[in-house]
C-alpha cells in the first residue's frame, strides 16, 4: 500500500521541483518511486568533490536531505502543510572518486508533526557509501491574509 498522499503520483509529477535549487546544481535526479520509497542519483564530479577528489560529505547530506524532504512533501497534503528539515546526520562509510551514487529513502516514522527518514547511499557497485537519517517537521501552511 502506498504511503504517498496522492496515490496516483508518478515520478514525472515532481521532477520540476528541483529547478533553481541546490539539487539541480548538484545534478540530483529522481529515478524511482515505489509505494514506500524514493530513489535519486547524483554524479560524483567537480560539483560534488572535496579537495582530495572524493565525494564531499556535504554533497551526500544534500542528496539525503533532498530525498527525505521530497518524501515528506509526497506524504503530506501540500495545500495545508509544509515539511522542513530539522535534523540530519550522516555516517560516511566509504569514499568515492567518480561515477554516480544512488540514494534510497524509506520511512522510519510518519507522524502528524514529524517524519523520520532513512537514506542509504550506494555507489555503482552497490557498495554502501553513506547512511543518513533526516527528521522533518510538518507545519501548517500560513494562511494568506
Residues annotated as catalytic are 65
Taking alpha carbons only, the member of 134, 138, 135, 13 closest to residue 81 is 138
CA 61/CA 145 separation, integer angstroms? 36
Taking alpha carbons only, the member of 69, 67, 54, 71 closest to residue 4 is 71
CA 70/CA 74 separation, integer angstroms? 6
- State the distance between the two ends of the chain, measured CA to CA, in whole angstroms: 38
Which residues lie closer than 8 Å to 72 by C-beta, 6 or more apart? Answer: 83, 115, 117, 136, 138
Are the CB atoms for 37 and 119 separated by under 8 Å?
no
Amino acid at each position: 500500500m502506498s504511503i504517498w498522499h496522492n496515490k496516483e503520483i508518478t515520478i514525472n509529477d515532481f521532477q520540476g521541483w528541483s529547478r533553481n535549487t541546490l539539487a539541480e546544481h548538484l545534478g540530483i535526479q529522481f529515478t524511482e518511486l515505489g509505494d514506500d520509497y524514493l530513489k535519486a542519483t547524483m554524479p560524483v564530479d567537480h560539483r560534488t568533490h572535496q579537495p582530495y577528489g572524493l565525494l564531499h560529505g556535504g554533497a551526500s547530506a544534500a542528496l539525503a536531505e533532498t530525498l527525505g524532504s521530497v518524501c515528506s512533501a509526497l506524504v503530506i497534503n501540500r495545500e495545508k502543510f509544509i515539511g522542513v528539515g530539522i535534523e540530519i546526520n550522516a555516517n560516511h562509510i566509504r569514499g568515492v572518486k567518480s561515477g554516480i551514487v544512488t540514494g534510497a529513502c524509506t520511512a522510519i516514522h510518519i507522524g502528524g508533526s514529524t517524519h523520520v527518514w532513512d537514506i542509504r547511499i550506494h555507489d555503482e557497485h552497490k557498495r554502501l557509501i553513506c547512511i543518513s537519517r533526516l527528521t522533518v517537521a510538518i507545519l501548517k501552511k500560513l494562511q494568506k491574509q
